[in-house]
């Protein structure tokens, strides 16, 4: 049976550009620490800095703002840790943020919630309310405020520019989790002006094991990883040079506006079709903003049937999807994102497309979805 992968928001296949760049580097056979001054070390350093420049160009920032990490999760933790070392005050964070953001914030100290609406969106008024609540509870504003670029589960795009501007005017550090959005829509970090931004390579077709924390120029934070002077003393440990090269190759490809625009249009075509297919099945709803959304993510609520059997039924039909509820992850809890939106966190499916998605993948979903849901409802009745 042919397999059809519709879980690109979890991780997407390695792009040919990344594979070719990594293979070419491996073929050179150069092994050295980029921090060494011998010839081999300088060659590795040159390759690493070329990758840094390419990643920086994708996000419209200076290369020295890029701190390579092991991925988005480490970048988030580094952002929270660094902010906490500057100021141990409370953190403002919404429940629609990724678990890496929520958990690292909770570990750092008191968390002041930022409310979200039924689309999973926070707005500037909610941010202002959170700041005032923090003042009332703790006698001071938060030391750090999180606002994701767009939601990883329902795709809703956040008013990130307005939130960052409000934080800037109030002197509050801002962190933007751009992992879900980067590589799928233009992410101009330079224009945004956030203090800290987290990104990951494997979500946009780069290799697993590499990400970056983008640090605003002039901002100094303590490193999360210590024990060495790598990354300008901002992240200890020998850099993953091959992965950085792959990240750089993908970033260079996506820096071409025509490619990013073409992939965005293709993703919208696929997800519009998925939304239409789902809408033909009674009791199925689409979560998130219908307009201001990421092009590649669709989150469905399925009335009357829990997510696990639907996911398994689709998998048996050759279609891989994801659910935010306990059935498909290590968690034993329903989706906190959907709960924060006020909808059922136990009966959701997330479908996501990517650079390698074909019409046949969506065809397979169309062929299986109604039959799977209908069969399960018949069993319940």
Report the catalytic residues. Answer: 327
**Hunting for tokens 């092994």 — which residue is that?**
31
Residue pair 208/16 in contact by the 8 Å Cβ criterion? no
Residues 6+ apart with CB under 8 A from 190: 59, 60, 61
Please, are residues 187 and 44 in contact by the beta-carbon 8 Å criterion? no
To which residue do tokens 């751009």 refer? Answer: 178
Residues in the chain: 381
| Cβ atoms of 286 and 300 closer than 8 Å | yes
> How many other C-beta atoms lie within 10 A of the C-beta of residue 238?
10
d(CA 161, CA 174): 11
Q: Do 79 and 105 contact (CB within 8 A), yes or no? A: no
CA atoms within 13 A on the CB side of 141: 16
How many Cβ atoms are within 10 Å of 256's Cβ, its own excluded?
A: 10
> Rounded CA gap, 154 and 338, in Å?
8
What is the Cα 39 distance to its own chain's centre?
37
- State how far the Cα of 256 lies from the Cα of 241, in Å rounded to an integer: 23
């Amino acid at each position: 049976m042919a397999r059809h992968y519709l879980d690109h928001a979890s991780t997407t296949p390695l792009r040919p550009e990344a594979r070719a760049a990594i293979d070419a580097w491996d073929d050179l056979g150069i092994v050295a620490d980029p921090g060494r001054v011998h010839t081999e070390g300088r060659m590795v350093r040159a390759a690493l800095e070329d990758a840094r420049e390419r990643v920086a160009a994708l996000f419209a920032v200076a290369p020295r703002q890029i701190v390579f990490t092991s991925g988005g999760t480490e970048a988030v933790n580094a952002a929270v840790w660094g902010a906490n070392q500057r100021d141990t005050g409370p953190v403002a964070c919404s429940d629609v943020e990724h678990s890496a953001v929520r958990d690292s914030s909770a570990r750092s100290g008191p968390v002041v919630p930022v409310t979200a609406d039924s689309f999973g969106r926070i707005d500037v008024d909610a941010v202002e309310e959170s700041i005032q609540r923090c003042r009332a509870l703790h006698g001071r504003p938060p030391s750090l405020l999180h606002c994701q670029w767009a939601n990883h589960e329902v795709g809703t795009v956040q008013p990130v520019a307005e939130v960052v501007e409000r934080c800037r005017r109030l002197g509050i550090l801002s962190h933007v989790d751009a992992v879900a959005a980067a590589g799928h829509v233009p992410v101009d970090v330079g224009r945004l002006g956030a203090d800290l931004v987290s990104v990951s390579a494997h979500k946009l077709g780069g290799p697993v094991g590499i990400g970056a924390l983008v640090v605003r120029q002039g901002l100094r934070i303590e490193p999360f990883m210590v024990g060495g002077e790598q990354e300008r003393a901002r992240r200890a440990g020998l850099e993953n040079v091959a992965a950085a090269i792959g990240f750089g190759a993908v970033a260079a490809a996506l820096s071409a506006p025509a490619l990013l625009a073409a992939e965005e249009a293709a993703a919208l075509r696929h997800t519009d079709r998925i939304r239409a297919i789902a809408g033909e099945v009674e009791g199925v709803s689409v979560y998130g903003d219908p307009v201001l959304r990421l092009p590649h993510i669709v989150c469905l609520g399925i009335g009357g049937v829990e997510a696990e059997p639907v996911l398994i039924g689709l998998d048996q039909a050759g279609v891989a999807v994801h659910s935010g509820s306990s059935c498909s992850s290590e968690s034993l809890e329903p989706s906190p994102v959907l709960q924060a939106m006020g909808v059922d966190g136990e009966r959701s499916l997330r479908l996501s497309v990517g650079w390698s998605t074909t019409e046949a993948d969506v065809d397979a979903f169309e062929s299986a979805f109604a039959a799977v849901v209908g069969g399960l409802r018949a069993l319940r009745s």
